[in-house]
């Protein structure tokens, strides 16, 4: 049941973040009578950075809630990874509804980066939450924000898939190192 709940919490976090992002976009339109540039694959904008921040805040809030549930007797990092999978599913579905890619793009390298990124950042947020009771939310969210923004910059500026996936591998290695450190400090 824990993994299903984690997945659903991931879906909820992404849906909540998406609602806030759309609300901000619409408020901007009402105030300035112009659309926000939302083609995130071509340029770095303030709105893109705000979107990343909103996503990481929602991940943090719902992961804290998930791990504080009474039935979560022994919270595990795998719950955060499943949470990240649920989060990424909403983002993938929303992206597909905006601009349907070619069949090759759905199955290709470009479609794997964002889900892997969301799984990794959710895992890192989860590790921070699990490893400390006196956690500073700004540090946790800031770390995830930095990792997410770096990935976006690599994509926007057209770095090769080899570099982008090497970066994602490094993020997963960071997650593994945090996990290893956490296990060692509990012994």
**Which tokens is 48 given?**
């893109």
Q: Domain ranges in the chain?
A: 2-186
Cα–Cα nearest to 130, from 66, 71, 85: 66
Q: Check if the beta carbon of residue 54 is closer than 8 Å to that of residue 20.
A: yes
Of 61-65, 81-85, 97-101, the least confident: 97-101
Q: Which residue has the higher pLDDT, 153 or 181?
A: 153
Q: How far is CA 85 from CA 34, 39, 68, 82, 88, in A?
A: 34, 23, 20, 5, 5
Q: Looking at the predicted structure, is the pLDDT value of residue 120 above 90?
A: yes
Q: How far is CA 181 from CA 82, 120, 186, in A?
A: 21, 17, 9
**Which tokens is 34 given?**
């112009």
pLDDT mean over 71-86 = 84
pTM of the model: 0.87
């Amino acid at each position: 049941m824990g993994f299903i709940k984690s997945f659903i919490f991931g879906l909820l976090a992404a849906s909540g973040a998406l609602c806030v992002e759309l609300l901000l976009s619409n408020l901007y339109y009402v105030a300035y009578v112009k659309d926000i540039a939302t083609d995130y694959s071509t340029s770095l904008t303030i709105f893109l950075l705000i979107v990343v921040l909103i996503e990481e805040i929602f991940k943090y809030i719902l992961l804290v809630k998930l791990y504080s549930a009474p039935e979560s007797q022994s919270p595990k990092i795998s719950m955060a990874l499943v949470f990240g999978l649920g989060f990424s599913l909403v983002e993938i579905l929303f992206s597909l509804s905006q601009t349907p890619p070619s069949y090759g793009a759905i199955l290709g390298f470009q479609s794997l980066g964002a889900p892997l990124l969301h799984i990794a950042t959710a895992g890192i947020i989860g590790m921070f939450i699990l490893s400390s009771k006196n956690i500073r939310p700004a540090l946790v969210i800031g770390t995830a924000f930095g990792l997410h923004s770096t990935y976006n910059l690599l994509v926007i500026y057209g770095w090769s898939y080899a570099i982008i996936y090497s970066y994602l591998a490094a993020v997963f290695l960071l997650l593994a190192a945090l996990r290893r450190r956490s296990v060692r400090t509990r012994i």
